[in-house]
Structure 1
């Protein structure tokens, strides 16, 4: 895919994520935001906090990579084996459960609605990074992998990984919210 179309596609996906979280998750009451569908499942806030922890690493890492990236003309975006594997692991269509590294696991954290606000701020930062990436060489290996910082992803691969990872966990958060709302409606019917 040509780099201009690739960035435009990611921008559209990030805008959709922001709109979904702002419109469907932000208005929820605290008890629904913190509701865990099962004892081991994440609540809405835990899903978003997990993404916030990744954004705290990847947004500055992407900004650093973009500062040193040479400008270039539109080009075909290429993918390495590591980039394809990283994307395949987190893409929303992959329903296989993945273990996260311990420091990225928010289970059991005391979380408030500020988690949602932080997520939305990170999305605005990501949109700014995508705008800066429009003229960058997306095939340049420049972004360290969070869990093993000696490995590097290409700039385009890292951007795609971040957005797909967010899509995956926002879908998970929506499922948790639906379960919480269904549970609340059942309680009203029983009373």
Structure 2
């Protein structure tokens, strides 16, 4: 076992001490619960279980016979800080660049085949919800599928998608109708994007306890496509940057509606 390994409780010895009385902890551990080793020294193993919102469900110590290792990994914490900083900056830039746009400006399109600013942001919300759901499944103890265990192409898919995202000249249709934005979107879209960004940051922070190379995810849009957790996070960030640049091009396009207040 290693610190930051994901484990499942397979038996409980009543002699072991539980921290279920700790402030903010909801209950004692139960057989079948999944948690992460947060401290490991000699025979002392302290495991934390968190819910889908990242809040502590229980904190307890165990011996090795009580736990089954699901994911044996090293922390990704050294990569987390710059990633979180990028996501926070994208939210700040979205507010600064698009936060004062009118409803007309948010929904304006350069042409019938192009997306509006609001559609770009809505697409990012929908995509991030699907991507983070796949990560949450691993956080909640989901096992590996056949392709996650045996696909020899996980590295190829991850590398290909990262390169694709940074090349704006390459175009592709959304891989699922579930992430295609509607034509007209309400004026709260910028705030909703920033709220979703906070949720995404929480999930990625929790995922920092997994091994970024050995933890394999399945694409929520193409079930035979797999990539590492590290690549998945990089893809998510580059995908956000790609559509942020697209939204910036929209407001710089000829014919973009003038600011009504500025002309008043």
Match of 2:160 among 85, 95, 120: 85
TM-aligned CA deviation for residue 58 of structure 1: 1.0
SS for the counterpart of 1:184 is coil
Please name the residue that 2:202 is paired with: 128
Greater strand content: 2
1:88–1:94 CA contact under 8 A, matched in 2: no
Residues 84 and 151 of structure 1, relative CA distance in 2, 3 Å threshold: same
CA distance in 2, matches of 1:140, 1:6: 15
Aligned Cα root-mean-square deviation (Å) = 2.5
Aligned length: 175
Give secondary structure in 1 for the equivalent of 2:218.
strand
Aligned counterparts of 1:181 and 1:112: Cα–Cα separation in 2:
21
Task: Give unmatched runs, 5+ long, in structure 2.
Answer: 1-74, 143-153
Higher relative contact order (CA 8 A, sep 6+): 1
Deviant stretches of 4+, over 4 Å? 180-183
1:117 and 1:102, CA in 2 relative to 1: closer, same or farther beyond 3 A?
same
**Take 2:122 and 2:176, find their aligned partners in 1: how far apart are those partners?**
13
TM (norm. structure 2) is 0.59
8 Å CA contact 2:103–2:187 kept in 1: the answer is yes
Q: Which residue of 1 aligns with 2:122?
A: 49
Distance 1:47 1:21 in 2: 11
- CA offsets, 1:38-67, max 9 Å, x none? 221110011111111212211221122234
Larger Rg: 2
Structure 1 gap segments, 5+ residues each: 70-78
Question: Deviation at 1:32?
Answer: 0.7
2:169 corresponds in structure 1 to 95
TM-score normalised according to structure 1 size: 0.80
Distance in 1 (CA, whole Å) between partners of 2:85 and 2:107 is 28
Shift of 1:25: 0.8
Q: Secondary structure at the match of 2:223?
A: strand
Residue 162 of structure 1 aligns with which residue?
A: 236
Select the structure that is richer in helix.
1
